[in-house]
Structure formats: structure tokens, C-alpha cells
Amino acid sequence: MIIAKSAKDLDKMRDVGELIAEVRESLRGMVEPGISTMELNNAAEKMMRDAGAIPTFIGYHGFPYAICASVNEEIVHGFSKTTPLKEGDIVSLDMAATYNGFVGDTAMTLPVGEITDELKQLIRVTEECLELGIQAARANNRVGDIGWAVQQHAEKYGYGIVRDYTGHGIGRQMHEAPQIANYGRPGTREKIRVGYCFAIEPMLNLGTHETRTLSDKWTVVTLDGKPSAHAEHSLAVTADGPEILTLTKEQKKLRAAKMSA
């Protein structure tokens, strides 16, 4: 069952969304050659706890870290490591916090120093797919419309669209119904209603869409070893359209200005 959120719930979703967005933006400013994902993880955990929030990932089905840090061919659920990131790497940082009983979930993929044009495009298109998916998350649309919006854009570039992992409903639980695949047919699946909250998260691969899981039982990598990018926002479906929850106050202002221009 998809749980529609009340106005009160939505305010709490906004609070936790902003909180985790602040953490994400702090990490964005830290990523550079030489820093390790363990340092990023520790900083993220500290920021969440200092803000009075719980790092949702820690202990989730036994996951040991506050963030998922997935480098290059790692798609999602990567473990933080003390190995420094290198110039030319790309790193996906996925994080979630629980605050006042509600969860915010967000991810981004960042270049480490200078990266190739091929990787820049992969990251850019992943972000574009996220935006298109968000725009499809409107009342009276269907969940399949979101997947279709992501798929049709990713396919223009020939990217492998990860099928084994999906976006999801979000609220008091990190993972609520429905599953939100990054492919789909328009007009199919559940009808979208005001009050639904979703985490949309395209995962695009430079090569095959196929995945495998490493022996740590968590880290998901591309089957062909080619790089992968991932971007995620949590959003609320409102009567006025999709509202991204995982933006900082500053980003919300900028987005509102852009949308009304």
C-alpha cells in the first residue's frame, strides 16, 4: 500500500529533506583527490548526529556505514574505505537520515578532480534523467510514467539502465511502496496521488545494465566493469506538482526562481 502523507507529515519530510541536503552539500565541497570515502562517511555521520538525526543506513539489514560510497564501476551500496580517491575517479555518495520519525534519502555522483568528457556526460545525463523523473511524478500520472521519463532519455545515449535496483516510496520507512523502476511504460502501474512521497534514483551505466554483488554482500558493481552514475532526490507530490524535499534552503530559493522564470 502506498502511504499518502498528511500536511503535518509533509512538514516533517521537508525538515529531514533539508537536513540531509545540507549533509550532501557539505560532502560535495569535500570531494577531491586524496580524500577517502571513510573520511566522507565519518563527516556525514557526525553532521547527522550533531543535527539530532539518525543515520538511517547504519544497521539497515546490517549495513555498516552512514553513507553508501560507490566508486567508478561500483553502482550502489559501496563500503567506505580508507583508500584515497584518485584524480579521474567518479564517486556516488548516497545517504539518508531519520529525524522526527521521517526519512530523507538523496544521492549524487561527483567527479574527483578532472574526469573524462565521457564521464562528465554520464553524470550530466543521470542528473537530467532524475529531473525528468521528478517532473513525471505528478498527481494522476502513473508510476510507469516516471520510469518511462528516465528510460527514454537514458536510451538516447545508449546507457545501460540498472534494472536490479529501483527508487521507492519514502516516509516513516526508508523503503515504502511503490518500487519505482528506472524504465517503464507510460500509463502503467499505480496512479500517483497528492501526498505520496517518492525517492527517485536513476542508476546509469556506461556499458551493460547487468550487475553483480561483491563478496562483501553489499557492493553492487557493473558486470562489465564500466563506470556507473547515480543521482537521487526525495520528493512530495503536491497539488502544485512535484516538490523536491532534499534541497537546501538556498537551493529551494534558486529552484523556485528558475521554475517561475
Binding interface with Mg ion (CB under 5 A): 105, 199
Q: Which three cell numbers stand for residue 238?
A: 503536491
Q: CA–CA separation, 217 vs 78, rounded Å?
A: 10
Residue 92 CB, nearest distance to Mg ion (Å)? 12
For residues 18 and 105, which CB has a smaller minimum distance to Mg ion in the complex? 105
For residues 58 and 158, which CB has a smaller minimum distance to Mg ion in the complex? 58
CA distances to 49, 55, 107, 206 from 21, rounded to whole Å, are 14, 13, 9, 27
Residue 76 CB, nearest distance to Mg ion (Å)? 9
Place of cell 559501496: 78
Q: CA–CA separation, 185 vs 194, rounded Å?
A: 21
For residues 35 and 172, which CB has a smaller minimum distance to Mg ion in the complex? 172
Residue 114 CB, nearest distance to Mg ion (Å)? 29
DSSP SS3 for 32: coil
CA distances to 25, 72, 233 from 123, rounded to whole Å, are 17, 11, 15
Q: CA–CA separation, 17 vs 242, rounded Å?
A: 14
For residues 73 and 105, which CB has a smaller minimum distance to Mg ion in the complex? 105
For residues 33 and 203, which CB has a smaller minimum distance to Mg ion in the complex? 203
Residue 69 CB, nearest distance to Mg ion (Å)? 15
DSSP SS3 for 1: coil
Q: Which three cell numbers stand for residue 172?
A: 516513516
Residue 200 CB, nearest distance to Mg ion (Å)? 9
